[in-house]
């Protein structure tokens, strides 16, 4: 076990911080919002719950949910325009404080790139620092599946992205912050995992994370000290 003061030191000296997006950077689960918008909310949120609990392989759960939703390009665009995701309180300030300290900030999500890029733009995170799943559409805009080659489409995909970032940019210390089992599994290769329960508390994460927070103010405080 690493002591809490060691964890705090690691966080304050990190050269990269990776955030999960759904229920971490934003208050919603993007896929559930898309399902609600497309009229299949109940069936899909049950599947999301099972996937987050780790009882269904991620790609299988994603395939199954998207097959139910069948989102068209127009529906995705309308969702972003009419029901834009809500940023979690404190995230804007935390990201901007990290960027002031020249820490690279990445968004790594099992959600959809079109939604995550919208969130990134609100936080001044370049789209090159976004890793998420790509929806595919036919030329008429109808749903055509998703890009199964993206690392984020797999169980363990977030860890693969972090390993890739370490190899590409030679980061010494990477922090992963998120609410779910898939985020916790990304450490290692991440050097520290910080569980976030500000939007939803997942018991498995709360019980097993060495550092668990429910408010980003706590991390801002660490950077100010």
**Residues carrying an active site annotation:** 20, 22
3-state secondary structure of 145: strand
Angle at the Cα of 124 from the Cα atoms of 222 and 76, rounded to 5 degrees: 120
Measured CA to CA in angstroms, residue 46 lies from 35, 64, 104, 129 at distances of 11, 12, 35, 30
Report the C-alpha gap between 70 and 86 in whole angstroms: 24
**In sequence order, which residues have a C-beta less than 8 Å from that of residue 84 and are 6 or more positions away?**
118
Q: Which two tokens stand for residue 49?
A: 């719950």
Cα dihedral across residues 63, 61, 17, 178: positive or negative: positive
Q: Is 88 left (phi over 0), alpha (psi -120 to 50) or beta?
A: beta
3-state secondary structure of 110: strand
Q: Which two tokens stand for residue 20?
A: 């999960």
CA 49 to chain CA centroid, nearest Å: 15
């Amino acid at each position: 076990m690493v002591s809490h003061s060691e964890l705090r030191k690691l966080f304050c000296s990190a050269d990269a911080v990776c955030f999960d997006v759904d229920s971490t950077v934003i208050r919603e689960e993007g896929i559930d919002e898309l399902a609600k918008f497309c009229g299949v909310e109940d069936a899909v949120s049950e599947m999301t719950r099972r996937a987050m609990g780790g009882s269904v392989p991620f790609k299988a759960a994603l395939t199954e949910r998207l097959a139910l939703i069948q989102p068209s390009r127009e529906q995705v665009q309308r969702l972003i325009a009419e029901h834009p995701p809500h940023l979690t309180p404190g995230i804007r300030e935390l990201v901007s404080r990290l960027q002031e300290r020249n820490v690279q900030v990445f968004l790594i999500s099992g959600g959809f790139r079109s939604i995550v890029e919208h969130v990134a733009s609100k936080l001044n995170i370049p789209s090159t620092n976004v890793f998420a799943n790509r929806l595919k559409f036919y030329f008429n805009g109808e749903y055509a599946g998703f890009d199964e080659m993206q690392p984020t489409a797999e169980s363990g995909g977030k860890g693969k992205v972090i390993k890739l970032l370490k190899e590409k940019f030679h980061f010494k210390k990477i922090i992963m912050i998120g609410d779910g089992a898939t985020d916790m599994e990304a450490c290692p290769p991440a050097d520290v995992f910080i569980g976030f329960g500000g939007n939803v508390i997942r018991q498995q994460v709360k019980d097993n994370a060495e550092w668990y927070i429910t408010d980003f103010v706590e991390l801002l405080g660490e950077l100010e000290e």
